[in-house]
Chain A
Amino acid sequence: MSADHARYQELVLGHALHALEPEDEAVLLKHLTACDACTRELAEHSDTLGHLAYGTPSFAPPPSLLAGIRAAVQDESPDAFRVPSAAVSDLSQRRAQKQRSRPSRAQVLVAAAASISIAGLLGLGAWNLTLQRDNVERGQQSEALRSAVSAIVDAPDRRDVGLPNAAGDVEAVAVMHDNTVNLVVDGLAPNNTVTSTYVLWGQANGGHEIALATFDVGPEVKALPPVALPVGLQPAPHLFAVTLENGRTAPADSNGRPVVQATVPS
């Protein structure tokens, strides 16, 4: 090895450490344009130093950091966080069409929540039952259904909890009644029904999360049939959350990234 190359080795390391004086930096940068060996060595040093970064005490960044990055990106590129897949783009268009003629979200959600409970009563309950929004909106329910809806809506112990996403938009409502919960979903993105599933979780205050139900979301309003709350979560859990999980079954532990969630007011 020549003395000259040994000198460059030291400069390469100094550059990787960002520890060169400006005059040395200029010399090295010029050299790098013509020396593959030093360029490779620089990459190796960067890799090693990348590991060294993990040697520092580990701190979770505050949530505001990601929010700031997102805001700055959106300032530059307003469409940056639109899901680019064709399927979801279609969904966005459908949503836009719905927005033009839809009744208030609260009206629809409450009606749908009540209806799905009634569907269970009528023996129509099935996992992932889809309610046709138009039917709800036009009031094409049978008289029996209407009565049953009223029974739920008017139940003295009924409690509704809106589950917002990170932006604060309520995209699901948990309707609790007689130690059961109905989840009505309107706004969650459709999931891949082959590779993923949504999971509704309940959690007691200070307790561990419990998977209450799995479900899929399509383009229409979705409502789950009533789910009995486990004894440990009665009369109401401290928290409801929905996650999107890989696979078709609820894992023992959630992935920790709730899509929507809310604490239940005591």
Chain B
Amino acid sequence: MRTVLTMPRSPDQALPREGPTPGLDGLDDRALVARITEGDGAALEVLYGRYGRPCYSLARRILTDDQFAQDCVQEVFLTVWRDAGRYNASRGAFSSWLLSMTHHKAVDAVRREETVRKRRAAPDILDDQVDSGPAVDDAVWSVLRGERVREALKTLPDVQREALTLAYFGGYTQREIAGLTSTPLGTVKTRMLAGMHRMKAGLENVSRAATAEPGLADGATS
């Protein structure tokens, strides 16, 4: 049971000015992207509702700074708004493309902003955490999914997990990781690839469960 009318609502929590648009919520990601290319801002808001949370969480994890994370996610969604046509559905799910873009922009930002470059090593990614904000009820699926991902990560040998998480969450290049871990560059690359294949196998059940989520063709929710 949810008690979701948690008030007062902040005035800046946006709703479409012309009122709700019944039906958009039922569209899959590709259809929403098509609406965005036609200039429908409400479609962008629906996509934000689905993926704003994981995008923000990822950016926050990489940048370790709320404001930088907000700037990053805003840039991501503005990129979607300006150039939604860049998304090529034949190359994968919209959510993958969006999160990949978020990751790339966050890593670019952390490399630019050395002062906030407090990159952390892998272990804390395995902690079970979720904030206690009002949207927690909406994040149940996200949390469950996160648990499965963390379980998959835990199955990796330490060195493989370290290499992958330093790159993905820390924003380090392969060469930097080699230096950080005093490991030959070739070994780092091999560990990454082996870890990725192992994790991919471990996540297959997550993919199946995600694509079974009702109403979300791309298999992700915020």
Q: A residues engaging B (CB < 8 A)?
A: 9-10, 13-14, 16-21, 39, 43-70, 72-74, 76-77, 79-85, 88, 92, 164-168, 187-189, 191-192, 195-196, 201, 203, 207-209, 238-239, 241, 244, 246, 252-259, 261-263
- Chain A residues with CB below 8 A from B15, complex form: 165-167, 257, 259
Q: Does A58 lie within 8 Å of B54, measured CB to CB? A: yes
Least Cβ–Cβ distance between B33 and chain A, in angstroms: 15
- Chain B residues with CB below 8 A from A79, complex form: 39
Can you list 29 A-B pairs with a CB-CB distance of less than 8 A? A10-B193, A18-B104, A19-B177, A39-B91, A43-B91, A43-B92, A49-B103, A50-B93, A52-B203, A53-B99, A56-B169, A58-B139, A58-B143, A59-B57, A59-B60, A60-B135, A62-B66, A73-B78, A81-B41, A164-B11, A189-B20, A192-B22, A201-B5, A203-B5, A203-B7, A239-B5, A241-B7, A244-B20, A261-B8
**Nearest residue, chain A, Cβ from B111:** A18
A263 to B53, CA, bound (A): 27
Other-chain residue from B38, B135, B220 in contact with A84 (beta carbon distance below 8 A): B38
A178 to B212, CA, bound (A): 49
Q: Does B131 lie within 8 Å of A69, measured CB to CB? A: no
Q: Does B4 lie within 8 Å of A60, measured CB to CB? A: no
- Chain B residues with CB below 8 A from A253, complex form: 1-2, 4
Contact mask for chain B residues 4-22; partner A; CB cutoff 8 A; 1 contact, 0 none: 1101111111111111111
A79 to B41, CA, bound (A): 8
Beyond A66-B48, A67-B13, A258-B5, whether A52 also contacts B53 by CB under 8 A is: no
Q: Does A244 lie within 8 Å of B22, measured CB to CB? A: yes
The residues in B between 46 and 87 inclusive whose CB is less than 8 angstroms from any CB of A are 48, 52-58, 60-61, 66, 70, 73-74, 77-78, 81-82
Beyond A18-B104, A209-B4, whether A196 also contacts B207 by CB under 8 A is: no
Contact mask for chain B residues 164-175; partner A; CB cutoff 8 A; 1 contact, 0 none: 100111011111
Q: Does A70 lie within 8 Å of B14, measured CB to CB? A: yes
A123 to B11, CA, bound (A): 39
Q: Does A69 lie within 8 Å of B130, measured CB to CB? A: no
Q: Is the interface of B mostly helix, strand, loop or mixed?
A: helix
A129 to B2, CA, bound (A): 31
In the complex, whether B113 has a CB less than 8 A from a CB of chain A is no
Q: Does A54 lie within 8 Å of B14, measured CB to CB? A: no
Beyond A46-B92, A81-B16, whether A58 also contacts B200 by CB under 8 A is: no
Least Cβ–Cβ distance between A152 and chain B, in angstroms: 27
- Chain B residues with CB below 8 A from A88, complex form: 18-19, 21
Which 8 A-B pairs rank lowest in CB-CB distance, beginning with the nearest?
A189-B19, A80-B41, A256-B4, A57-B129, A55-B149, A61-B56, A50-B96, A63-B13
Q: Does B56 lie within 8 Å of A76, measured CB to CB? A: no
Q: Does A50 lie within 8 Å of B100, measured CB to CB? A: yes
In the complex, whether B157 has a CB less than 8 A from a CB of chain A is no
Beyond A58-B130, A64-B70, A66-B52, whether A74 also contacts B14 by CB under 8 A is: no
Max count, chain B CB within 10 A of own CB: residue among A10, A54, A56, A255: A54
Kindly state the interface size class of chain B when it binds its partner. Answer: 35 or more
Least Cβ–Cβ distance between B121 and chain A, in angstroms: 14
A85 to B40, CA, bound (A): 10
- Chain B residues with CB below 8 A from A83, complex form: 16, 18-19, 21, 42
Beyond A54-B145, A58-B130, A257-B15, whether A191 also contacts B22 by CB under 8 A is: yes
Beyond A18-B107, A61-B53, A73-B81, whether A47 also contacts B96 by CB under 8 A is: yes
Least Cβ–Cβ distance between B131 and chain A, in angstroms: 5
Q: Does A73 lie within 8 Å of B44, measured CB to CB? A: yes
Beyond A54-B146, A60-B131, A81-B17, whether A45 also contacts B189 by CB under 8 A is: no
Max count, chain A CB within 10 A of own CB: residue among B26, B74, B108, B129: B74
Least Cβ–Cβ distance between B189 and chain A, in angstroms: 4
**Nearest residue, chain A, Cβ from B8:** A263
Q: Does B153 lie within 8 Å of A263, measured CB to CB? A: no
Other-chain residue from A17, A48, A257 in contact with B203 (beta carbon distance below 8 A): A48
**Nearest residue, chain B, Cβ from A24:** B174
Least Cβ–Cβ distance between B9 and chain A, in angstroms: 6
Max count, chain A CB within 10 A of own CB: residue among B41, B42, B171, B174: B41
